[in-house]
A = this chain, B = another copy of it.
Amino acid sequence: MRRVRLSIVGFGTVGRWLATAIDRRRSWLEAECGVDVAIVAIATRRDGFVYREGGFDIAALLDSVAARRPLADTPNAQLWHTALQGLAATESDVLAEASNTNPREPQPALGHIRLALDRDMHVITSSKGACAVAAVDLAALARRRGVRFRMESTVMSGTPVLSTLREGLAGARVVGLRGILNGTANHILTRMAEGLDYPAALADAQARGYAEPDPSDDVEGHDVVAKARILAAVAFGRTVALEQVVCRGIGGITSDAVQQAMRDGSRLKLVASVRSRAEALEVRVEPIALPLAEPLSRVEGVMNALTIETDTVREITIIGPGAGPEQAGQGMFADLVSVLRAPRLLG
């Protein structure tokens, strides 16, 4: 049985879910991938980078975190002040980078990812900010180093869209993409379609825990912009600068506009689109009235969806949840399996 050493940087709800899944699915990983995955490092802002060459006992680790005991108290653990220092000084095979999913801030995740790739580690990440800025560069770097770089959970969380583009539709030429990629914004528009005005719909989303106290990343489109840039990287191999994205959020949407769309037999949705136009790539995030014949128009509440148009299978649409620790953790787990299934790449 090959032993695979995993370092997890960022141990919030997603990182902890991933650790739990590795523990719970241990026999599945052994049978399916022929590996024994050992978590050898955990890094958090509070604890620093804690390394244990023999691997952590995952149940005990999660107990420590729940009890807010310092991870550095783990027997036989070594401590570094920062994740960068720890990653540079220790040995592991895979980095799971889950430290920061802020769509507008690539750091510190980007630094961790680059360092790990430079050290010939495979990287799986949930960092939207880092991938929005650098997905093309990071994939190229991974390729040069002969390792894998995966980021499934950055777009639609655990609903598999990036693997669909890369593996499921391998070889097909993508012509265009359009999606509903933010559940909070979609929930607000769904509630407005039911008759609420914007402030009431936003308050409803906040009361349900869908929207942050400062909802700007969701309602102004920043989160969707990051995802659209990641989709452009995966589907077209292109880096899209922030300034190239046309972005209008839903903050200015009136009840009248929502109701008018319904009277016209359509639904107002915050739509991300990436489309190849001559030599350029057009990337837009904006409210659009979608006719009911389009599957995206029927996507309600916090659900997300992506329609992929290719030269061969024409349009396919994937509908699924777009957020949640369990979903994002599942996306990272699928990325991990993709790394583990690549036989030559490990050990």
A residues with CB within 8 A of B: 21, 25, 28-29, 32, 152, 157-160, 163-164, 167-172, 295, 298, 310, 312-321, 326-327, 329-330, 333-334, 337-338, 342-345
Residues of B within 8 A of A310 (CB): 330
A-B contact pairs, 30 of them (CB 8 A): A29-B171, A158-B169, A160-B167, A160-B316, A163-B163, A163-B168, A164-B164, A164-B168, A167-B338, A169-B330, A172-B330, A172-B333, A172-B334, A295-B295, A295-B298, A298-B298, A310-B330, A312-B326, A312-B329, A312-B330, A313-B321, A314-B320, A315-B321, A316-B321, A317-B320, A319-B319, A342-B343, A343-B343, A343-B344, A343-B345
Note all chain B residues with C-beta closer than 8 A to A312.
158, 326-327, 329-330
Chain copies in complex: 2
Contact between chains at B295 and A171 (CB < 8 Å): no
Q: Which residues of B lie under 8 Å from residue A295 when comparing CB positions? A: 295, 298, 319
Residues of B with C-beta under 8 A to A320: 313-317
- Residues from chain B with a CB closer than 8 A to the CB of A327 are 312-313
Measured CB to CB, the closest approach of chain B to A220, in angstroms, equals 27
**10 closest A-B pairs (Cβ-Cβ)?**
A160-B168, A316-B320, A170-B337, A312-B330, A343-B344, A158-B313, A163-B168, A344-B344, A170-B334, A317-B319
Closest to A163 in B: B168
Most buried by B among A163, A171, A326: A171
Selected contact of A160 from candidates B25, B158, B169, B338, CB within 8 Å: B169
Q: Distance in Å from the Cβ of A45 to the closest Cβ of chain B? A: 27
CA distance A66 to B28 in the complex (A): 49
A329 vs B171: C-alpha distance when bound (angstroms): 11
Question: CA–CA, A342 to B168, complex, Å?
Answer: 15
Chain B residues with Cβ under 8 A from A329's Cβ?
Answer: 312
Residues of B within 8 Å of A163, CB to CB, are 163-164, 167-168
Question: When chains A and B are docked, how far (Å) is the Cα of A289 from the Cα of B317?
Answer: 22
From B167, B169, B319, B326, A167 is in contact (CB under 8 Å) with: B167
**Chain B residues near A298 (CB, 8 Å)?**
295, 298
Judge whether A319 and B316 touch: CB under 8 Å. Answer: yes
Known: A313-B330, A326-B312, A342-B342. A171 touches B21 (CB 8 A): yes
Residues from chain B with a CB closer than 8 A to the CB of A170 are 32, 333-334, 337-338
CA distance A327 to B316 in the complex (A): 11
Q: State the Cβ distance, A253 to closest chain B Cβ, in Å.
A: 24
